[in-house]
Amino acid sequence: MKEFKLAQPQNLAQVTSLPSDQRYFLMAGGTDLLDEIKNEIIDPGVVVDLKSIPDLAYIRSTDEKIRIGAMTRVSELAENSTIKTNYPVLHEAALSLATPQLQNVGTVGGNLCQRPRCWYYRDPQVECRKKGGSRCYAARGRNRYHAILGGGICHIVYPSDLAPALISLDAEATIATANGDRTVPLEEFYTLPRVDVRKENILKANEILKEVKIPPSKNEGKSTYVKLKERGTWDFALVSAAVCGIVSGNTFKDIKIVLGGVAPIPWRLEKAENLLKGNPVTDDVVKQAAKEALSDARPLKENAYKQDLAAIAVSRAVLSLV
Amino acid sequence: MGTKQNKKGKAYTRRDFLKGFGGGAIGAAVVPKILAQESASIETKKGKIPVCSKKQVTLTVNGEKYTLVVEPQETLLDVLRERLNLTGTKKTCNQGECGGCTVLLDDEPVYSCLYLAFRADGKDIRTIEGLAEKENLHPVQQAFIDTDAYQCGFCAPGFIMSTVGYLETQGNSQSNMKLNMEDIKTAISGNICRCGNYDQIYKAVAEAAKKMGRS
Ligand SMILES: Cc1cc2nc3c(=O)[nH]c(=O)nc-3n(C[C@H](O)[C@H](O)[C@H](O)COP(=O)(O)OP(=O)(O)OC[C@H]3O[C@@H](n4cnc5c(N)ncnc54)[C@H](O)[C@@H]3O)c2cc1C
Ligand code: SF4
């Protein structure tokens, strides 16, 4: 691996006030960052060790909210009994992610800020748009695993399993900036390539995702995560569906659906939500909603199958709430 | 690769050659000087952030303490193999996808290829070399032999470390823990066998669980 220097700050304020004349790379668990360095996609010069900052790993209940520190490891999230009982969608997403070895090291913040897995992006020989080049090679190249929605100038899918799950729970993200902390809905944390093709989220240089906050769980609420993948064992999602909702009597009172694996950001299915709300829970209603929801998809040459998978993931997830 | 005779008539292996380059554990006495030369800092409005290109660490590997100086980009895998000569831990995909480099870090399985050595400072590391007690193999090692879970054997150290990490954290049979095949498959899902010997490997884990009173 290429040499780099290690910066070990004592607090977040030091990181947010790093001089802007050089680019610094933040390292949480390192499971994604080191892969990028090894594959010579980045040449960091200086790596900023977030682990040297105390008190960034916690799962706490305050003001009835659950607060999860960015440096909390995925394995700690998966094992947490409150999360398991009250937020099954998040528990299931954490368990579905990568492998036990990676869950033991990878963090919540790192998972939410990880870089895309597009094979052209990960290939050091290829200078695509995301790396400052002028073309998207996936558009006309091999695009089996790429986006069917929201692509345009770059067709990555956002690879995180925790992101759709947290967004379905109305989570908020707290960001440490040079001017203090700022909180935004996690749904607004992610940005489409047309905003800035080099980035996947709103973080500016040397800003840090500090924690995520989840509102109190509703007593009658249910949730689940359905992840469809190519292999039986670890794999990124081809398509996943995070669903939270309330079914009362036999009617959908409230529902939120967020897809993973279909777009450059976790993709909210508001259309399907509206078709379901107030309607009875039947196979037909659900299937119709799932189909409608994906009607504006624009698949590439090799990935039309994701449209069918998405409909299946949505139906499965929604029907399992009952 | 061919071998050369050294002065004592002992054959040099490729490994001795590499080891000569890597330098074994560096004595603590020379450390402060090196560190002092390599340290710097970045000025910020909120104070100085220390920056280094070398760090002294103490690793406990299979019960033995090693104090050495590592560079930030050195992985635990490379330190184990090239500097401590513990080559049982395998460097296979080197990017967190195959599990051949699995070691236990404070009893938890991790990929040593994606774990930086400086972060292992003060931690307890167990590798395949540390499992057997003298002539007695660890029950997981024995189970892998008894059930023919090896084909080429290259992935075995990783599978065995994952299995040990998993079974040690499970309750024993008195606590009514029942391991089913699904649990076993999940527990070792971070390891890949290129020969595809999974059926025998699953049997080995189940057999080991029995030997260790975990099923
Ligand atoms: C083989 C393999 C399989 C995988 N499978 C899955 C999967 O199925 N599902 C899934 O969701 N993920 C998967 N992953 C991705 C894995 O979950 C991520 O590597 C991991 O979550 C990243 O966490 P980390 O703490 O190691 O991040 P790091 O590698 O330390 O950081 C990742 C990126 O985020 C930035 N970053 C980290 N923390 C912060 C922060 N607090 N604020 C701002 N920026 C930050 C870093 O600068 C870096 O660019 C897989 C990875 C591998 C190698
Ligand atoms: S999809 Fe994005 S990352 Fe992949 S080749 Fe196109 S521009 Fe690059």
Per-residue pLDDT, B38 = 52
Per-residue pLDDT, A314 = 95
Residue type for position A105: V
Domain boundaries, chain A: 59-113+157-214, 221-319
Enter the pTM of the model.
0.92
A204/B contact by beta carbon, under 8 A: no
Q: What does the mean pLDDT of chain A come to?
A: 95
Per-residue pLDDT, A291 = 86
The CATH code that applies to domain B9-130 is 3.10.20.30
Domain at A59-113+157-214: CATH architecture: 2-Layer Sandwich (3.30)
Per-residue pLDDT, B214 = 77
Q: For residues A141 and B28, what is the distance between their CA atoms, to the nearest angstrom?
A: 54
pLDDT at residue A274 is higher than 50? yes
Backbone angles phi, psi at B13, to 5 degrees: -110, 170
Q: For residues A114 and A276, what is the distance between their CA atoms, to the nearest angstrom?
A: 32
Ligand 2 atom closest to the Cα of residue A155 is 1
Concatenating the DSSP letter of every residue in B16-33 gives HHHHHHH--PPPGGGHHH
Per-residue pLDDT, A231 = 86
Per-residue pLDDT, A62 = 84
Domains B9-130 and B139-211 share a fold: no
Mutation test residue for ligand 1: of A24, A41, A111, the one with most atoms within 8 Å of CB: A111
Q: For residues B152 and B193, what is the distance between their CA atoms, to the nearest angstrom?
A: 9
Q: Which residues of B touch A235 (CB under 8 A)?
A: none
Domain boundaries, chain B: 9-130, 139-211
Q: Which residues line ligand 1 (CB under 6 A)?
A: A 25-33, 35, 50, 70, 97-98, 102, 106-107, 109-111, 113-115, 159-161, 203, 208-209, 234, 236; B 96-97
User: Domain B139-211 classified CATH 2.160.20.10?
Assistant: no
Question: Looking at A139-153, B86-100, B164-178, which range is the least confident one?
Answer: B164-178
Q: How many other C-beta atoms can be found within 10 angstroms of the C-beta atom of residue B183?
A: 16
Q: Tens digits of per-residue pLDDT, A199-231?
A: 999 999 999 999 999 999 887 889 999 999 998
Strand-pair category, A5-7 with A46-49: parallel
**ipTM of this predicted structure:** 0.95
Per-residue pLDDT, B178 = 64
Optimal mutation site among B35, B38, B41, B42, interface A, most CBs of chain A within 10 A:
B42
Average pLDDT over residues A111-134: 97
Q: For residues B152 and B163, what is the distance between their CA atoms, to the nearest angstrom?
A: 18
Q: Tens digits of per-residue pLDDT, B154-205?
A: 999 999 999 999 999 876 554 445 678 888 999 999 999 999 999 999 999 9
Per-residue pLDDT, A311 = 94
* Domain A221-319 -> CATH class: alpha beta
